[in-house]
Amino acid sequence: MTANKLRQIVLRTPFRRVRITLQNGDPIDVGHPETIGITDALIVVNRGHDSIAVFEPEQVAAVEYVERKRARRE
C-alpha cells in the first residue's frame, strides 16, 4: 500500500478507528489520528504504554475500519 492511500484512509474526516494488518499478520489499531505519523518511507503508530510500531507502507497487507467498543450497561 502507498503512504498516500494509507493517509486517505486513516486521516479521513470524521475520523474512524482503523486496524492495519501487516503482511506478517500483526494487527495495529489506530484509535485516534494523533497516534499515527505517516511519511513516504515510514509509518509510526503510538500504541500506548511506552510502545510504538514502526513499519514501511509496503508492509501493510490490509486496512479495515473497526467499531468503537462501547461500555456495557447493567
- Tell me the per-residue pLDDT of 21-42, one tens digit each, with 9 for 90 and over: 999 999 999 999 999 999 999 9
- Residue 46 CB contacts under 8 Å (≥ 6 apart), including other chains: 35, 36, 52
- Domain residues of the chain, as ranges? 3-65
Answer yes or no: CATH 1.10.1740.10 is held by domain 3-65: no
Model pTM? 0.85
Say if residues 38 and 45 touch (Cβ distance below 8 Å).
Answer: no
pLDDT at position 69 = 67
